[in-house]
Structure 1
Amino acid sequence: MRIDGSGTLRASCVLCPNPGPMTLDGTNTWVLREPGSRGVVVVDPGPHDERHLERVARTVQEQGAQVLMALLTHHHGDHSEGARYFSELTGAPVRAVDPELRIGSGGLADGELIVADGLELRVVATPGHTADSVCFHLPADDVILTGDTVLGSGTTVISGDGGLGAYMDSLRRLRELVAVTDARALLPGHGPICTDPLAKLDEYIGHRELRLAQVTEAVRAGAHTPAQIVARVYAGIDDAVVPAAEASVRAQLRYLAGRGDIPPELGDLRAEL
């Protein structure tokens, strides 16, 4: 299960078979274990796919190890809905920012150091994709588990409870963390690992800034609804991801309105935000 090219000894991935427009090849369930120890930490058990969850539990058991806890990067069901069944399978508590997702344990605090049988993880709050999004820094391997904050390919959607301003701050915070720690890889919630973290984060930040410019230009050109803006800015995208594109446009418009870049006279547009 080792991921070739990541340089990590402690992290391995079990891919959930739930591919789709929003999940890419499927959800990456990350299994973390300090070399020589028996304790395992599982990040994002995944959706309620019993075969996948049983496969993860069986893989750990076959290694002569035990799941000490499961951690959730955020509340979306493709990462979290299987957590309760996984906890029943393994007896492991589930830790999450969202109190409703916690099982037999507490929350996750920004900057908190999680220690499990010699394994050390640092919690990094990265709201934006969702309000409760977090990443996990694994310093011993110089990698960061990014959930949906940074994907292996493509870009993430800003959910209704997230926010573009917070997301941009989170991207810049991750970039600073990568620069300071010289992190070698990002381990995402979907898609392949990224072995050039600085370039990936620069790409993500640049992409968002470009989209903001495109949305601003679309509004100035007469696009006054999210659907009209998507038709201009995201022309040719798959119909399956149009709702996600409209959600992203709304997030961008809220951000622009907060900066005063949406003219007050466009009241109908503001009302849709």
Structure 2
Amino acid sequence: MMHNPVKHTAAASTAPDTLQEEHIPMLSASNHVVLEIDHPPPQYSQADSQPLEPDVVASRPRRRFQPKPLHVRILWTAAIFLCILQNFGIVPTLFSTSTCSIRERDHQEVARLKRGAYWTDPAGDEHCGAFGVRYYRARLRSDDSVALEKDWLETCYLMPMTIHGRQLEKPDRCERRDDGQVWGIWRVDFGEPTCAPYWGTVTDLGCVSTGLARLQSRLLGIQHGDNWKNMCSTTPAKLLGVQYDHPTHCEDKGFVSGVIGMWDIERTECN
């Protein structure tokens, strides 16, 4: 059987570990073949690398290691040694533009921006953003409102946040609202079991065009109010032993039939 022409994207979110597999009863349909679907965590494939021809490899000149001149190595060694001595305060800083002083000024600048700044408690969005994804938001506050007013963007991207016990170095996005409040936004793709819908029984619809057959399944476990397009288009599935990052098409068929995902797969019998 040939593989799905749907392009696999590494951007698909990984299914949380807490997602439990549920048994979906077999559905009968006239003139349709009914299959069972697996629910393993999504897998990602890497592109196969093509080896070079022997003649091409043989024709390449070998690169020889070229050591730096002796005076360059001596200068670099002396600079590193001097930097270590300056960091420990053994010798004073000789040049204001030295590597050590620049690094120290960077640390001082970061400390200045972060001084007195803190996040409010993060709050997750009511609805899921995608499969396994929820967005969290928190307001950036500071004891020095003047400094925050001046350097709000730099300070925002320097402030870490802990969500679900994991420390995130910085927000994915910072924004300043019309009222002057600074907010950080994090895209959290772990520890969100309620954002993990799954596919039900899969039906084989047969050939739909030359060389292509179609499989379809209903999306189950989607929460009320979630964007059905985002959830359907990012939910992975394993069909007939092949892992798919997302369906080819998604369609909302109403309350009775629900959200349907469709996969167009190559099939020789359809030629």
Q: Please, what TM-score do these two structures have when normalized by structure 2?
A: 0.24
- Higher RCO, 1 vs 2 (CA within 8 Å, ≥6 residues apart): 2
More strand by share: 2
Q: Which structure dedicates a bigger proportion of its chain to helix?
A: 1
Q: Which has the larger radius of gyration?
A: 2
